[in-house]
A and B are shown apart, each in its own frame.
Chain A
């Protein structure tokens, strides 16, 4: 019995059955799909989905049919994609996940802003997908079949086009669209935009990485490093809780892009990231404020384990994953994560009444976050960037405003930058680059 059959059944039933039965049916069938999962990625995806579905029972109050339809359809397409050995089915599932993401970002479809952000996110993914599809079409013309064997005929051009498609889906710089997706409900952010849908490209890349040309593998490494660096830097000035974690997701996806040639580290990082990121997105409704600097965090002990994974400090295996980054990128990655840690430490903690199902999900994710600790290996040299970043992170315990206006025809964005801050960070980055050049292996 394949695991994807159960979410398919719940997708079909979600169109007809009474609304009050939708959540119970979806949770039951998600649990069954978890039980029948065989592949590593299937297990992770179905497990996270099951936990998020449980949370949704208490969290989602309106547009239930739409929500459960898209969530079940997404789970079905994700599991079928992982299982599938036929490229045509894989591409079909790939597109279905994009549509589910669009449908869920525009969950509150009467809100024009939600619809606009959903369209923007879909557009960016669609642009990247066009390169992916072109690459697969060219390979199909050479190979003549829809099996994964056609990837053996990859050359530099098809590899590069394929890579562009993957980084677009994963919201890796310069295709960063996750910020637009944060208008979706927290459960959607937790499932799709942190743990599963954004990683579908990396799963695809993991399957065919050995067929990529050496040039493309090098380019993927540099794109990963560049993305980590730029997004870590930008996240230092982000005050919105969800958008900050959106940056964090993209940063970790960039790290996964670098790790994709190393199956052990890739799988462990995949699991750790899925667990802690889902946790922090599901924590958001309890935080009460969008602005992290004014937030009141709930008094919960169980935040400790996901926080350790988020920081990437021992005993989290993410501590070792970061060893694949150059020094300046490592310092910036630690810097942005310690920024949140310092804010979390210094802000007020309040008692929050948490509903049963939401509490169950959060505790489950916290306990499961301990499992990756079993794979930790200590590397003394990796302490250095941590020690550099930690004291600097206290600089960020208060909000830094900086001013820079940039207008583009369709998308308008304003980031405020002040002269003093720009000089300080410019100097810091130059120093880090110099350190890296002097001590590079």
Chain B
């Protein structure tokens, strides 16, 4: 963690004088943290995944404000704080720091649309924070009230129905680097916070189950979307609901598996789609995927993982749900995932058009390759493990 803080400071200072140096220092700090990091439990393994996503997004990033790298390192530092802190209030402070930085990731790059999305995200985020704070305040008086407020607060921050309306806008309108951090790390961190400190209660059971199922079906609005980033953002909603549900049931190992699957595949898909959108614009009708062959191949892999194609991480994640949930909930979740194949196919179709590599474009091959290798490796490990 020291490497992250020091790296953040050095990035901030060097960023004032040189353009490319903060990126190198950020990557170096992240690699150093990775080497020095020794995971002890599944929550630590989740942080390992976040570090890898962080390295990938640093390799991928280009034309970002100079504040991006120090804030990313600070963001990961606060994520680490959320995970290791045993006291709820201290953990909440780290969560708030991470949330404040994530508002910047939405706003990064400017523009009216981003400002509007950031404001929506900020409102829902702060409502969530307020509810969590009330819950913490009431914790020592009434555990049921704590449970209710705490759960509602985490639902608002994670984008669980009925607080889902901000998430597709925020994740889609942010720059690709921001979308990766938001979808690949931020929402998962909130689920981990919820996993650590939530208390089970029969009343909250119904609230969480119904909200998660509603979120899964709410995400099917993606049927009518023609913007690939918005489809991926709705896919985040679809995937976050089982993670949130498993967090409520304290199934730590399953939450880790889902975070591994979702972080890696969603980050890879946002990175690939970022390059594609940069060239063709944000409509599926204009995309000619063959012109960016490597991004298309990686995007096909990530979408197949998200669809739960056999022997990918997505497949084993869905398998793991059967150890925990009852049949009725399983049928509804599986149904929502199968229905979402329709929007995914729209993206896959757009990748079939065009001529191969008409002009040379930097597709950030190594950033995507890193996530691709982790995705494949994860699939093989699960195949042997299961």
**Using a CB–CB distance below 8 Å, which chain A residues touch chain B?**
66, 88, 91-92, 94-95, 102, 106, 109-110, 115, 118-119, 122-123, 126-127, 129-131, 133-134, 137-138, 140-141, 157, 410
Contacts and interface: CB of A to CB of B under 8 A. Distances in A.
B381 interface: no
Nearest to B340: A126
B352 A123 contact: no
Contacts of A88: 310-311, 383
Contacts of B311: 88, 92
Interface SS of A by simple majority:
helix
A127 B322 contact: no
A115 B352 CA distance: 11
Closest 7 CB pairs of A and B: A130-B338, A130-B334, A92-B310, A126-B338, A137-B322, A126-B341, A91-B310
Given A94-B310, A140-B386, A141-B322, 15 more contacts: A88-B311, A92-B311, A109-B352, A118-B345, A119-B349, A123-B339, A123-B342, A126-B338, A130-B338, A133-B308, A134-B334, A137-B321, A138-B327, A140-B322, A157-B327
Interface in B316-365: 318-319, 321-323, 327, 330-331, 334-335, 337-339, 341-342, 345-346, 349, 352-353
Interface in B164-189: none
Nearest to B352: A109
Contacts of A106: 349
10 contacts: A88-B310, A88-B311, A109-B349, A122-B345, A123-B338, A123-B339, A130-B334, A131-B334, A134-B334, A410-B223
B366 interface: no
B309 interface: yes
Contact of B341 (A92, A115, A123, A133): A123
A137 B314 CA distance: 13
Nearest to A142: B322
Contacts of B342: 119, 122-123
Contacts of A129: 338
A171 to B, nearest CB: 16
A95 B386 CA distance: 19
B353 A109 contact: yes
A131 B335 CA distance: 8
Contacts of A138: 322, 327
Interface SS of B by simple majority:
helix
A157 B337 CA distance: 20
Nearest to A136: B319
A379 to B, nearest CB: 43
A126 B319 CA distance: 16
A138 B311 CA distance: 17
B183 to A, nearest CB: 23
Contact of B319 (A110, A130, A140): A140
Contacts of B319: 137, 140
A133 B307 CA distance: 13
Contacts of B331: 131, 134
Contact of B330 (A118, A123, A134): A134
B322 A134 contact: yes
Interface string B121-153: 000000000000000000000000000000000
Given A119-B342, A126-B341, A137 B318 contact: yes
Nearest to B335: A130
A95 B309 contact: yes
Contacts of A410: 223
Contacts of B339: 123, 126-127
Contacts of B353: 109-110
Interface string B373-386: 00000000001001
B169 to A, nearest CB: 24
B338 A127 contact: yes
A126 B334 CA distance: 10
B323 A141 contact: yes
Nearest to A124: B338
Given A88-B311, A106-B349, A410-B223, A127 B383 contact: no
A215 B169 CA distance: 49
Contact of B334 (A102, A115, A123, A133): A133
Nearest to B330: A134
A84 to B, nearest CB: 12
A102 B344 CA distance: 13
Nearest to A141: B322
B330 A119 contact: no
Contacts of A133: 308, 318, 334
A118 B348 CA distance: 12
Interface in B216-247: 223
A129 B223 CA distance: 19
A106 B352 CA distance: 11
B222 to A, nearest CB: 13
